[in-house]
């Protein structure tokens, strides 16, 4: 569905991303793990068309789309749930959701809205509340629901767990799994390895702007993730576990 190969992105002289390769498939959750500053946000923004990559390939289906702008990527079915959620604080929940469905005809928006309310009951309950009054977790659900409103093929999610209470993190991750299971490809970037690994099918690890490991979630051992990301990535690490890219004993 989405295939990113050897992506390079820079800010002037700063080479923030210098060799990120990752893919996302329908119905699957692909987790990109990386420490603070590893280049996760830069990669997602470049894929979503908010920042032009210096080089590399971004394929959606059989089309090469690297460098296309965000509105064109949304039309192709690739939508970003940004870091920090970025909901419109003074608009109600429902108004925020309608912004997500802005491209569709009115009757269709109504239908999609009903579906999103069914998938996100919390948003249904809060539909007339200003988004700025929601809790962080509710705002994350809203940003997620707003993306689903565009009926995407691929959702890119930037650190949804950031700043949320642990129970809310679990709810958001469960919802990510649920939405992927409807057939959408989800590419989620996280520093919270435990939360991400709980729902991921595939994992990529990036360090200093480079993909250093990719594989199925089962073989992304906690110890390996710990070794790459450092102490903060996991709450507790078991003594056993294969090295990065290693095989099961």
Ligand X SMILES: Nc1ncnc2c1ncn2[C@@H]1O[C@H](COP(=O)(O)OP(=O)(O)O)[C@@H](O)[C@H]1O
Nearer CB in complex with ligand X: 198/210: 210
Question: Which long-range CB contacts under 8 A does 123-130 form with residues at least 24 apart?
Answer: 123/93, 123/97, 126/93, 127/92, 127/93, 127/94, 128/92, 128/93, 128/94, 129/92, 129/93, 130/89, 130/90, 130/91, 130/92
Taking CB within 5 to 8 Å according to partner kind, which of Mg ion, ligand X, none is near residue 38?
Answer: ligand X
Smallest distance, ligand X to C-beta of residue 155, A: 17
Residues that bind ligand X (CB under 6 A): 11, 14, 16, 34, 36-42
Smallest distance, Mg ion to C-beta of residue 206, A: 11
User: Under DSSP, is residue 10 helix (H, G, I), strand (E, B) or coil?
Assistant: strand
Beta strands in 75-196 (DSSP E): 78-81, 154-158, 185-190
Residues that bind Mg ion (CB under 5 A): 40-41, 83
Nearer CB in complex with ligand X: 129/214: 214
Nearer CB in complex with Mg ion: 216/230: 230
Taking CB within 5 to 8 Å according to partner kind, which of ligand X, Mg ion, none is near residue 160?
Answer: none
Rg (CA), the chain: 18
Taking CB within 5 to 8 Å according to partner kind, which of Mg ion, ligand X, none is near residue 37?
Answer: ligand X
Smallest distance, Mg ion to C-beta of residue 68, A: 22
Nearer CB in complex with Mg ion: 77/209: 209
Contacts of 13 (CB under 8 A, 6+ apart): none
């Amino acid at each position: 569905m989405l295939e990113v190969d050897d992506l390079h992105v820079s800010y002037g002289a700063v080479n923030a991303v210098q060799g990120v390769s990752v893919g996302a498939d329908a119905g699957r959750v692909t987790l990109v793990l990386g420490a603070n500053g590893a280049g996760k946000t830069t990669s997602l923004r470049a894929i979503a068309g908010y920042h032009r990559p210096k080089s590399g390939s971004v394929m959606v289906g059989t089309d090469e789309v690297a460098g296309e702008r965000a509105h064109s990527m949304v039309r192709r079915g690739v939508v970003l749930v940004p870091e920090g959620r970025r909901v419109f604080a003074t608009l109600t929940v429902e108004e925020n959701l309608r912004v997500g469905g802005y491209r569709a005809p009115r009757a269709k928006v109504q239908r999609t809205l009903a579906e999103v309310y069914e998938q996100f009951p919390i948003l249904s309950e809060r539909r007339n509340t200003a988004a700025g009054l929601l809790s962080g977790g509710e705002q994350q659900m809203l940003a997620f629901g707003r993306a689903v409103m565009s009926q995407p093929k691929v959702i890119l999610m930037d650190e949804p767990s950031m700043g949320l209470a642990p129970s809310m993190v679990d709810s958001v991750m469960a919802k990510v799994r649920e939405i992927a299971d409807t057939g959408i490809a989800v590419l989620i970037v996280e520093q919270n390895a435990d939360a991400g690994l709980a729902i991921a099918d595939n994992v990529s690890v990036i360090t200093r702007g480079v993909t250093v490991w990719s594989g199925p979630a089962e073989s992304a051992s906690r110890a390996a993730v710990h070794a790459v990301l450092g102490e903060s990535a996991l709450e507790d690490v078991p003594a056993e576990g294969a090295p990065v890219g290693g095989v099961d004993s």
